Structure 1
Amino acid sequence: MRPARFQEFTLDVLPKAPEIQTVNVWDGRAFGLHLTFNTGSQLWIGSTAQAAPGEQGDQAETPVHGDTPAEVPYPDLYEGGKITPARAEDYLAAALANSHNDEIASVYPYGSEAKNPGLGVRFHSGARIFMLFEIAGRPGQSADGQKYSLPPTF
């Protein structure tokens, strides 16, 4: 799945997750999302991609279908009423895995070993999407924060 189509997919599927209030395009980013959770906490995510092996960007995309990832229960998003980057990774990975999209082979949170929090999506075509958490904020904050310097809770 190419980035533009993936972004349209996430704009449709992520708001269906129980704790996500809104998902919008992150203005000023080619492929980015601005999520607002039910608490008002916010997360800005930038996406990049790796094309499927042998795929040429000037050719029509050929979706590859397969088994969907196993459905998983949504993990608890909150720790003391706040969201941590690690909990957001796990929660968003569950939301994408539970979408029943048969182009997705797997979804994985980056985990504590990664320099920057986020998650990855592998597709049956061999393509990949990388979703980096760039900015997180409390209710009402803007995206003016320093990128990749997320607070421990938001």
Structure 2
Amino acid sequence: MKIHVAAAAVSVATIGTLLLTTGPASAHTYDGKDPYRTGCANSKVYTGKKASLSNEIDDTLGTIRLYYSRRCGTNWGEVTVPKNATGHITVFTSSKNISFTYRAGNGGHHWGDMVYAPSGVCAQATGSVTIGIGRVNKGSGTTGKACG
């Protein structure tokens, strides 16, 4: 019985070490950063990928667009929604995702944080919007993939 407990303790310690060593290595310095504050948006290019933020009866409550920074090799999503709307923007690749929560204001124009996706890496953005109480006042949508 003591042998099993010792083996389990070693296995947990080994797993913990693996998680600690592999987690931070995948992050890039631009991951989770604001594209406008970093200056990455100065070289932004619209990828041509967008989606409507639609509710369950297919009313459009906003739009999400996927952008790419040529200088920084990053992607992020930007939404256009009513100025009283709240929601989330997530940009993701096959290996990671970065989420951002926006609040009402800013004229209804909000952007999420960046994910590093250099040439050859595909990215997408998903967004949600809430403009009141009830399911018809909530919408979501996901852009197509853009591969840098």
| TM-score of the aligned structures, taking structure 2 as reference length | 0.30
Larger-gyration structure (1/2): 2
| TM-score of the aligned structures, taking structure 1 as reference length | 0.29
